[in-house]
Chain A
Amino acid sequence: MSTVCTAKASYKKIPGLLELTSTHLQWTQDGKKAPAVHVAHTEVSSLFSSKEGAAQVRLKVGLENDSNGHNFAFTSPAPLALTERETFKAQLTTIISNNRAARDTGAVQLPQTGVQTPSNGGIRRAPAPVPPRPSDSRAESVSSHRGTPVNDPINDFHVRKKVLLNTPELAALHRELVMSGQITETEFWEGREQLLLAQAASDSQKKGRPGQLVDPRPQAVEGGEVKIVITPQLVHDIFDEYPVVAKAYDENVPSKLSEAEFWKRYFQSKLFHSHRASIRSTATQHVVKDDAIFDKYLERPDDELEPRRPRDDEVDMFIDLEATREDHEETGNERDVTMQAGKQRGALPLIRKFNEHSERLLKSAISTDGTGKRRRLDSGDASDSGGHYSQIDLADLHNPEPSSGVLLEMQDRQRYFESRAGAAASAEQAPRPTVDLRAAWQQMRRDLDGWQGHLAQLKTDRKAAEAALASMTENVATRLDAQKRKADIPEEIFGQMRTCQTAANEFLRQFWSAIYPPVGESTLGGPTTLAQKTAKATRMAGYLTKTSEKVGAIVRAAEMAGVDRSRVQTGMQPTLDAAKRALEFWETRKAAPGARRA
């Protein structure tokens, strides 16, 4: 990893060093070795910087899957900081555009400059670091495939990191053992592949589109001006939601308007205001200037009682409202003014937009889903008049049907049944003891004779009963006692006990996994040869021998804190026993190396 450039920068107000290497962008806190921020190039998706002349020289890196990204402030003296920032910016911009090119092949052709195309003029150049927008994160769902290749989730550092972040206990253990160098990273993850695979699987699950309407609201900045920040995601969403804008873009950029000019004029046009999901737009209509280009694309608001584009989709008979309207001639008096639909004409385009937007989202979800969940409307066979029976059925009035069960998938089923058949056959052949039914019956009758009397005579020994009761009482008392005194170990000692125990467990796990062959074939590229395994086992055994020392230390500490030592000892006893057992096993094995080979 060759370093491309470095600079002093603070991250979360902690001073440190920002480095751009050939593969990663990383930041290390002063005085530490390991970088606290470590971002692969492929993950960087956007870049924002503070404007020149601002109090602080800042750089914000937006990540593929983290909307907040990382914020760095360059801490060198002002002129130097600025040049440093520019260097980083230049480098990162190339990286991002490469990423984008890789990603956008399938998506809508986005303007290259869209990385940071704030509209100018009345809407002033976006100066400050952009507040986190939810749309940033959606770049992921827009892209046809993810930026980070996750071919090997088990060895993927990010996946590991995520697993650790999600499970604090594991993270604590990791800190305890791996960071302190007692066991290696690979060893730690060995046997925990499932966690990583699960995490990778859940990561690779594609997020659906969030539901919000595309409604870029201008933000007021000081000086009474407004600005709208355009992100590639926003552009994509606008094109998707309003095909007419995409059409306008297609026809006018770059022939008649430049990219920036296009957006500037769009946001000032009537077209934009008619797209705003708000009835306020009608109010702002007259403030907005005419625009020769965009006004061509303007449509009349869709606020008639009947939609402008009537649709003749086939509607299920059970929800066909039109049919009811057509069922009989309209009779009676007009409904009162509050019950006439569509009286609030301003709200109608909005309502239609909601329905259309929802439908679009639904379609995108269903099409990406492929099969999706089975529609209830489609269920049922053809004979039940188009699935209508299932809609009128009262399921609980049927007798409960025995479920068909799940077929047991067995390896070597054939052999299993053969062997069973064989066993049964042999049992068949074995001579059965012949039973004289009559004799047996009489025997039974004799045995049962006078059972009522016997039952009446049944007496339980008083002493035994009392003893049983006493023991039960005692048991309950002890438990109660234990419950009452449970919390009297100070939190600190208890914590130590817990750490000690989890650490010992981990060693044990490593130890035994080195001794016995792994269950599956999936190994972490850990020790595979016998020698490596032995080495590892030896090392673990070494750690395990120290367990009793550690316990001793805790016990002493507990005594100092005024806790009954025996209680701590009892608590740690199982751990000690397990360690002892492992060590004994190890001793015997070492003593007889020949046995192992056999």
Chain B
Amino acid sequence: MKFFIDDLPIIFPYDRIYPEQYAYMCDLKRTLDATGHCVLEMPSGTGKTVSLLSLIVSYQQFFPVKRKLIYCSRTVPEIEKALSELKRLMAYRISVAENNEQREKEEAFIGLGLTSRKNLCIHPEDARCRDLTNPAVVNKARAEPGSVEVCSFHENMNDIPNENILSPGIWTLADVLQHGRDTGTCPYFTIRRSMPFVDVIIYSFHYLLDPKVAEQVSKEMSKDSIVVFDEAHNIDNVCIESLSIDLTRPMLDAAARSVDKLADQIDEIKKTDASKLQDEYAKLVEGLQEAASDEDAFTSTPVLPEDLLKEAIPGNIRKAEHFVAFLKRLVEYLKTRMRVLHVVAETPLSFLQHLKDITYIERRPLRFCAERLQSLVRTLELNRLDEYSSLQKVANFATLVSTYEKGFLLILEPFETDNATVPNPIFHFVCMDPAIAIKPVFERFSSVVITSGTISPLDMYPKMLQFTPVVQETYAMTLTRNAFLPLVITRGSDQVAISSRFEVRNDPAVVRNFGSILVEYSKIVPDGVVAFFPSYLYMESIVAAWNDMGILNEVWKHKLIFVETPDANETSIALENYRRACDNGRGAVLLSVARGKVSEGIDFDHNYGRAVIMFGVPYQYTESRILKARLEYLRDAYRIRESEFLGFDAIRNAAQCVGRALRGKTDWGLMIFADKRFARADKRAKLPRWINQYITETAANLSTDMALTLSKLFMRTISQPVGENSTGVSLWTVEDVEKAQAAQRQAEAEQTAAVAAQQSRASQGLGLGEPMDEDDDEYDAGGLSERVLGEVNLDI
């Protein structure tokens, strides 16, 4: 369908549209027009991605200044899904193009996705990519063919100009892989070299937020690009992750070995080709950054662009042998720190002071550590680069610790757990402030859209990420019938309260009651049931306990059981089988973990998830020192209370889990929150509005048997055929959209008229007390704000 928002023609690849999709697009357009940032919460499964792409592509194609779209998602499956949406949208746009000129324009549109070398490699030995494609090796191979091994897929691309590598259109990751196989070219470099020409690029959060990656892939994105963070409910964690580093003892040992190897290499090169080192030194003296092509960089500096010093590398690490000695001292120092057998927490400043006292290493050379290492690696033309990753980590650590003072903490934990006796020390460099990593994104790009199905409470994100949104909105779900039933089970049929609270979670009564919820629901729910646990530890222990108690035997009678395992590939296979069991009619139960691998990015729509059970509240482990530090920081810096943050974090993850069960309004599912703490009003208030509004008072405090009765009733009603009356209410045709727009325009007109009238009368009747009151009444009656009116329309 095609309709207009203001003057912008929107092409939407469906015959109808949900009212919330329309509202979402309107707000998105306002943001883009205002070139500002926004936070939008749109109910899961109501076609957020397609609305977003549909509006932005319409926007790009309509205005002469093409703003690039940088679309970030969390996981590769989600990236691929977004690419598929885009591909279908463009196919639709081409099919409805009104004339040839327009069709050509649509056909010239380019959209790509990017992921790692490893995921995009079609070479049989993908681990060696960097060794086979780095410029030194490639140049050598060209100089004397056959002297070194190179990647043929990479070589085959040499003669193709970058803009011709891919024909215009939308290329999903699978498409690019196939293209690579067909033409014998490297998919990864195909994408990297095509990136300057794309209209839409889709990749994961890290490629924009993690400075090490962003430096390489996102540097040349223009400032007017539109940045979208989809599924952004965990964006603060990604921000923090990208600036945090862990060092372990094996890592330091490996780093020490690498330093020795570097020293050997330097000795060798001194004998064979001393001029190279001389050249490097000369360049460093002049402060010249070596302009290696970005795509081949081993790694780049871990700090953010504006924290980079545009200075020459300090003199005491310019000479290769000096730098190696410097690294050696640093590694030795860190190793000594690891020997301490009590927990240490210190600020970067105090760490630097101590370092200086012991080793005389100054802060300034430390800041250039990562960069200097990169230069050295390039000069030495090393291969087997992966072996140097530990040393790289140490260098990154050095650079980070000497760059940032505020919002960071160093924690040394000598033991893994409190009761462990064998030391296994980890040196955590912890970033506590998500705003640091995302700040350059907000500063550089004019429009940043943060959106997700569960991003409540909305004001939390601007507060944590330190930005001011121009639009901040959450949308209700318009339904002609309740497509999902959220239930809060607080106690078992035996009236024992259930909770995943640490003190009671292993109580046999609680374990049994959790188990009987699973058993009962596997009896009554068709096809797929997904259960989420608050942590891996809890899931693994409860699965074992259930098995010993014979509870799982009951489940086996009705459904197959699949469980998330530590291995990603193994879990994918289990997932694939789970879906087959759902399709086949056998039915299955999937046990997995909130915040785990499965909870992010996998959809359980339709028969893949007729019921989602959340066992317990997915709180973080509050004994974690890192979490404690972060909570403290949030309290001091942003006045976010500990309990508030913990509750918010737990509920957003719970909502994320249950929200994956829906796609579209004819889909249906049960959402079961099994913990007595969900009954508390303050917890429920943190749920997204579209879930919370459907939790009735009675459904907020149920025992298992009551919940089962309600669930059965719900399934009986929902299994009736859908009435045709949803059109116009929860589904809009083009006419409905136009009607809504007309109503809105009228309301606006009335409002402006009323305001004008009031102003004129106010100016006329200045000093006349009585008529003024009348005017006010009139204003109140006629001047409903557009939003209010919009909502009135929506809720019918």
Identify the A interface with B (CB < 8 A). 208, 210-213, 277-280, 305-307, 310-313, 315-329, 331-334, 336-344, 346-348, 350-352, 354-355, 357-359, 361-362, 365-366, 369, 372-377, 384-386, 388-389, 391-392, 394-400
Contacts and interface: CB of A to CB of B under 8 A. Distances in A.
A395 B560 contact: no
A533 B534 CA distance: 75
Interface in B7-25: 14-18
A337 B413 CA distance: 12
Nearest to A388: B84
Contacts of B534: 338
Contacts of B724: 400
Contact of B666 (A365, A388, A395): A395
A375 B583 contact: yes
Contacts of A306: 566-567, 570
A493 to B, nearest CB: 38
Contacts of A208: 586
Interface string B190-222: 000000000000001011001011000000000
A397 B568 contact: no
B598 A321 contact: yes
B240 A332 contact: yes
Nearest to B18: A397
B85 A397 contact: no
Contacts of B417: 337
Given A350-B544, A374-B583, A397-B18, 7 more contacts: A313-B576, A342-B536, A342-B540, A372-B584, A388-B80, A392-B50, A397-B16
Nearest to B420: A337
B556 interface: yes
B560 A373 contact: no
Nearest to B173: A317
A399 B548 CA distance: 52
Nearest to A211: B556
Interface residues of B, number: 111
22 contacts: A210-B557, A211-B559, A212-B553, A213-B553, A278-B547, A318-B77, A321-B571, A324-B74, A324-B76, A326-B118, A327-B115, A331-B242, A332-B244, A333-B246, A337-B537, A339-B593, A342-B565, A348-B566, A362-B580, A385-B87, A388-B84, A391-B603
Contact of A344 (B76, B88, B540): B540
Contacts of B556: 210-213
Contacts of A398: 14-16
Interface stretch (B154-162, B223-231, B348-356, B619-627): B619-627
A324 B577 contact: no
Nearest to B16: A397
Nearest to A398: B15
B116 A211 contact: no
B574 interface: yes
Nearest to B240: A332
B572 interface: yes
B764 to A, nearest CB: 49
A328 B561 contact: no
A312 B417 CA distance: 35
Given A278-B547, A355-B570, A326 B116 contact: yes
A346 B537 CA distance: 12
Given A336-B626, A346-B544, A377-B579, A322 B572 contact: yes
A350 B567 CA distance: 14
B264 interface: no
A352 B570 CA distance: 9
A347 B116 contact: no
Contacts of B118: 326
Interface string B509-544: 000000000000000000000000011111011011
A435 B256 CA distance: 108
Closest 4 CB pairs of A and B: A332-B241, A342-B566, A211-B556, A344-B540
Given A213-B556, A362-B560, A307 B583 contact: no
Contacts of B115: 323, 326-327
A397 B14 contact: yes
B326 to A, nearest CB: 25
A351 B586 CA distance: 20
Nearest to B541: A344
Contacts of B241: 331-333
Given A212-B553, A318-B81, A375-B583, A334 B76 contact: no
B543 A347 contact: yes
B561 A341 contact: no
B537 A338 contact: yes
B664 A396 contact: yes
A376 B584 CA distance: 9
A359 B573 CA distance: 9
A350 B426 contact: no
